Structure 1
Amino acid sequence: MHQKLLRSAHYIELGSYQYWPVLVPRGIRLYTYEQIPVFLKDNPYITDGYRAYLPSRLCLKSLFILSNETVNIWSHLLGFVLFFTLGIYDLTAVLPAAGASREDFVICSVCLFCFQVCMLCSVGYHLFCCHRSEKTSRRWMALDYAGISIGILGCYVSGVFYAFYCNNYWRQVYLITVLAMILAVFFAQIHPSYLTQQWHRLRSIIFCSVSGYGIIPTIHWVWLNGGIGASIVQEFAPRVVVMYFIAAVAFLFYISKVPERYFPGQLNYLGSSHQVWHILAVVMLYWWHQSTVYIMQYRHSRPCPEYSPDLSTSMKFLTLRLWTLPNELRAMKLRTEAVLFLTSGLLPAGWASILLGVLKNQQDCLGSEINFLFCNQVQNRSSCTGTMERWAVRLSSQITAVFFLLGKHEQRK
């Protein structure tokens, strides 16, 4: 080896291997777990390869050395490059080919921007966590957690937008709810104890809750589309399940510190749980991006019904109509009784039959009104069957009395 390179090379221990020559910039050395400051002690099963006590300039230079953070840094740095490239490809090729609207371009841009921010925040923390100032290290940790929240927000924005593509009311409800939850997480970071080791479990619970909340709109979306038998549910629900499965596996690696727990000191540089967590995070976000593109193309190939009224207005009107229908039918019955009593024996032949037809037509109109207001909202008439059958019974019970009176009047004549 060249003499100049030898002067800038350090011999460090890589797990249980022999001493290997690793080129590092001057002023940088690697430490064992016992030698690093307390705020860097997170995983006792990673025993060496730590960077510590570095100024910002050397933190940046440590990007190109082999340490126990190298895979963590480069996995998300390459993840940023991946999502940046996908953004350019989507905006220039995928979306125009699908006939995307301006909203599609905005949603795609927001989603991929959130993913890129998530990747960069993670890179920043793992690059500068070794800063000699604990305060600076904590700030980068807070930014890393903020990036996770932004990445979650990107998943929700695209998922909710296309899941409730034909239902503006619920789309707004869930988007506002998710945004409020993310803002609440941001405000929680202000608490002085939020980034401490004592709050480690609480932080995990908070992020699991924010991520798991997506199950609620997913179930609601399945119900609105007519259950698991609906075509769009069968197309898209498995993708949601796979995304949550990847996230759950990644989180299990993160909290269990497996496999280094069973091989302490053997996986310091490659194969640790946090590295697996990073790689699975990129895989999960990439999978969700592909799923978003898929459902976007699905929505454009199967557009919404021509008339899709705002749910808040139509549901309020539907509730009012269902509340007043029984009274309306009872009034119809009383009017019929009054007409038959006052005109008993005076109605010309066939008038009762005409009145019977009018009432039957009104029954059909009322049933059609319920069907139009309710069934068009779920975009799948099969889910309306139970509701329509229950209302058919109630309608029939009111109408039957009217028909019975008209029938008796015809018999007397």
Structure 2
Amino acid sequence: MSGVEPSHRHTNVTTGTMENHRVCSPKEGKGKRLWKKVKYQLVEYHSLPGYLRDNEYIVGHYRADWPLKQTLLSIFTIHNETLNVWTHLIGFFLFLSLTIYTATKVPKVVDIPHVLRKADLHRLHECLPSLPSIPDLHKIREELKTTLPSMDLLPSLSGWHVMEHLYNCLPERFSHGNYSDVCVLTSAKEDLANMIASLFARPITRWPFFAFLGGAMFCLLASSTCHLLSCHSERLSGIMLRLDYAGIAALICTSFYPPVYYSFMCYPFFCNLYLGFITVLGIAAVLVSMVPVFQKPEFRTMRASLFFGMGLSGVAPILHKLIWFSHQPEALHTTWYEILMGVFYGVGALVYATRIPERWMPGKFDIAGHSHQLFHVFVVAGAYTHYHAGLVYLRWRDLEGC
């Protein structure tokens, strides 16, 4: 009896024949449970299917052909894609927070607590004489009385009297950068000037800035999703790679929108020329990325060069901006941000293409520190730098207009 697997014999009620049914021993049942636990273990590079073979210098800790449930849950486990997923997922939530902050905290019209341009006073001078006939002016007058009870407001809120009163509030002049049309207001009188100036203030459109934020979020989320799900199957891997490349193209393309639009918003020809060119180039990059042949490892350098070339196309509008607005401190300020952004993107692309540092010590950077993770960090840093440049553009154009 020893060495023979236990079994039970019983009669099949349909056929009347005797059948043997194998009964698993306790030892074998334990083995099956163990197999269920190790079934979705990590494998080495040489065991991967062809579609997952991309970087031979990352030797182990791969997921391959995992079911969708286990693939999704692997976001919380350690493998060679864990940091690829989380570096851009954290970046996505960072830019989501920045978008909410920008929409709610960055004012629609930039605050002018201490400064009122004299050009606005001239506009006020021209517009106010015709306003006393408007019934709402009585409400404004009462609100000003309540807000500034110490001021002896004139009985009539005629334009000429208001202008005289405002000019009496402006005894001091100071230079702001290279400008001499800025006046200092002091004490409670600045409140009156700012309240009246706010009637004429108009916000500069925000859509180019939010287009950039949307492009950044799409790129980061698409990249994170790609690295998480590509191990599921060859078909899903192809779809995710296309989405990843589309996200990179969207980020590079929309990064041009704030600098080009806000630099040349007063010159529609150049504004439309540069925006149209980078948009067409971005669409072309997406279309090329959608062709499956360009997803093969041997085209890695070509893909990196294409996106690096898109970044270089921004040199023309930046130089143009510096030539035309050399007298504007904001032009130089934003250019330094853009140069830093370009350095981050360029170094990231170089690291990705050369596979540094894992090519120097294969297998040593499988979990942390390999080139793709560094590339992700540089992308987030570059996009965050560009966000700060966008804030400078908004303040510049809100204050100066055209």
Looking at structure 1, the residues matched to 294 and 38 of structure 2 have their Cα atoms a distance apart, in angstroms, of 35
Shift of 1:117: 0.5
Alignment partner, residue 176 of structure 1: 276
Shift of 1:141: 0.5
Map 1:263-302; keep pairs closer than 5 Å.
263-302=361-400
Map 1:117-136; keep pairs closer than 5 Å.
117-131=218-232, 133-136=233-236
* C-alpha distance after superposition, 1:205-244 (max 9, x if no partner): 2111111101111112222224xx6533322221111111
Looking at structure 2, the residues matched to 104 and 207 of structure 1 have their Cα atoms a distance apart, in angstroms, of 28
Cα distance change of structure 1 residues 179 and 73 upon mapping to structure 2, 3 Å threshold: same
Looking at structure 2, the residues matched to 101 and 260 of structure 1 have their Cα atoms a distance apart, in angstroms, of 53
Determine which of 93, 102, 105 is the counterpart of 1:90: 102
Aligned residues: 283
Structure possessing the higher relative contact order (Cα contacts under 8 Å, 6 or more residues apart): 2
Matched, 1:234 2:335: no
* C-alpha distance after superposition, 1:38-82 (max 9, x if no partner): 221111111111111112222111111101111110111111110
Determine which of 32, 45, 50 is the counterpart of 1:33: 45
Contact 1:95 1:105 in 2 (8 A): no
Alignment partner, residue 352 of structure 2: 254
Alignment partner, residue 303 of structure 1: 401
Q: Supply the AA of the counterpart residue of 2:358.
A: E
Looking at structure 2, the residues matched to 76 and 101 of structure 1 have their Cα atoms a distance apart, in angstroms, of 36
Contact 1:8 1:26 in 2 (8 A): no
When normalised by structure 1's length, the TM-score is: 0.64
When normalised by structure 2's length, the TM-score is: 0.66
Contact 1:111 1:155 in 2 (8 A): yes
Q: Supply the AA of the counterpart residue of 1:247.
A: Y
Looking at structure 2, the residues matched to 170 and 199 of structure 1 have their Cα atoms a distance apart, in angstroms, of 35
* C-alpha distance after superposition, 1:347-376 (max 9, x if no partner): xxxxxxxxxxxxxxxxxxxxxxxxxxxxxx
Looking at structure 2, the residues matched to 97 and 190 of structure 1 have their Cα atoms a distance apart, in angstroms, of 41
Contact 1:258 1:272 in 2 (8 A): yes
Alignment partner, residue 175 of structure 2: none
Looking at structure 2, the residues matched to 144 and 244 of structure 1 have their Cα atoms a distance apart, in angstroms, of 20
* C-alpha distance after superposition, 1:296-321 (max 9, x if no partner): 112222332xxxxxxxxxxxxxxxxx
Map 1:111-150; keep pairs closer than 5 Å.
111-131=212-232, 133-150=233-250
Looking at structure 1, the residues matched to 401 and 204 of structure 2 have their Cα atoms a distance apart, in angstroms, of 15
Q: Between 73-82 and 216-225, report the one with greater CA deviation.
A: 216-225
Looking at structure 2, the residues matched to 147 and 294 of structure 1 have their Cα atoms a distance apart, in angstroms, of 25
Looking at structure 1, the residues matched to 300 and 55 of structure 2 have their Cα atoms a distance apart, in angstroms, of 12
Q: Between 108-117 and 69-78, report the one with greater CA deviation.
A: 108-117
Cα distance change of structure 1 residues 189 and 275 upon mapping to structure 2, 3 Å threshold: closer
Q: Between 103-112 and 135-144, report the one with greater CA deviation.
A: 103-112
Alignment partner, residue 266 of structure 2: 166
- For structure 2, which runs of at least 5 residues remain unmatched after alignment? 1-30, 112-200
Contact 1:95 1:104 in 2 (8 A): no
Looking at structure 2, the residues matched to 47 and 101 of structure 1 have their Cα atoms a distance apart, in angstroms, of 58
Determine which of 284, 294, 316 is the counterpart of 1:216: 316
Q: CA RMSD in A?
A: 2.5
Q: Supply the AA of the counterpart residue of 2:243.
A: L
Cα distance change of structure 1 residues 27 and 158 upon mapping to structure 2, 3 Å threshold: farther
Looking at structure 1, the residues matched to 263 and 375 of structure 2 have their Cα atoms a distance apart, in angstroms, of 28
**Structure 1 vs Structure 2: percent identity of aligned residues?**
29
Shift of 1:175: 0.8
Contact 2:337 2:388 in 1 (8 A): no
Alignment partner, residue 79 of structure 1: 91
Shift of 1:25: 7.4
Determine which of 179, 196, 206 is the counterpart of 2:296: 196
Q: Supply the AA of the counterpart residue of 1:164.
A: F
Cα distance change of structure 1 residues 189 and 272 upon mapping to structure 2, 3 Å threshold: closer
Q: Supply the AA of the counterpart residue of 1:278.
A: H
Alignment partner, residue 106 of structure 1: 207
Looking at structure 1, the residues matched to 283 and 80 of structure 2 have their Cα atoms a distance apart, in angstroms, of 33
Looking at structure 2, the residues matched to 80 and 8 of structure 1 have their Cα atoms a distance apart, in angstroms, of 41
Shift of 1:95: 3.2
Alignment partner, residue 61 of structure 2: 49
